């Protein structure tokens, strides 16, 4: 990675972190408020009754402000890893977080080992505000729709997937 690329990545991280975490204020089922841009991010409560995106061994969890920042950092890392993995014949699959107006949904849960995990669902096309309360599911859609999971306790991301073209 060249120094120019490192600087560009750092600037992108700072700008995205600011846009994802500093604008709106939302109460998150506790005695404190989380600060994040509600026009770009929705936190949806996990219900153990559903078996997706986590199975029934998981329990609902609440995110902290620091964990929201960690999610944004992992978003940049996971998208960067995806983009770096593409060969020249597939560069049209590059995800550009700056160019597209991506929104993200977060569902937090605690696994059987007591580790907090988050499912991150990102998309660049919505018709209304239902995405703030209902999980967005689409078939196909390409690089406009991707998701992944983060284990915040052990600080890893996994299961990164981009929708197909159809």
pLDDT in tens, 42-73: 999 998 777 789 999 999 999 999 999 999 99
**What angle do the packed helices 3-21 and 65-85 form, to 10 degrees?**
140
- The pLDDT-based confidence of 81 (bands split at 50, 70, 90) is very high
State residue 35 phi and psi, 5-degree precision.
Answer: -110, 120
Q: Note whether 102 and 39 are within 8 A (CB).
A: no
Number of H helices, E strands in the chain: 2, 8
d(CA 154, CA 69): 15
State residue 158 phi and psi, 5-degree precision.
Answer: -155, 170
pLDDT digits (tens, 9 = 90+) for 98-150: 888 899 999 999 999 999 999 999 999 888 999 999 999 888 888 999 999 99
């Amino acid at each position: 990675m060249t120094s120019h690329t490192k600087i560009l990545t750092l600037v992108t991280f700072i700008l995205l972190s600011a846009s994802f975490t500093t604008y709106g204020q939302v109460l998150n089922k506790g005695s404190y408020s989380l600060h994040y841009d509600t026009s770009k991010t929705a936190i949806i409560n996990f219900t153990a009754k559903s078996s997706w995106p986590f199975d029934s061994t998981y329990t609902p969890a609440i995110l902290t402000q620091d964990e929201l920042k960690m999610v944004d950092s992992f978003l940049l890392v996971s998208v960067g890893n995806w983009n770096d993995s593409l060969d020249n014949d597939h560069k049209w699959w590059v995800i550009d977080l700056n160019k597209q107006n991506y929104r993200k949904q977060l569902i937090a849960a605690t696994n059987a080992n007591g580790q907090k995990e988050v499912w991150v669902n990102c998309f660049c096309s919505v018709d209304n505000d239902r995405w703030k309360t209902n999980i967005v599911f689409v078939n196909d859609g390409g690089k406009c729709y991707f998701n992944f999971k983060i284990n915040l306790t052990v600080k890893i991301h996994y299961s990164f997937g981009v929708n197909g073209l159809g």
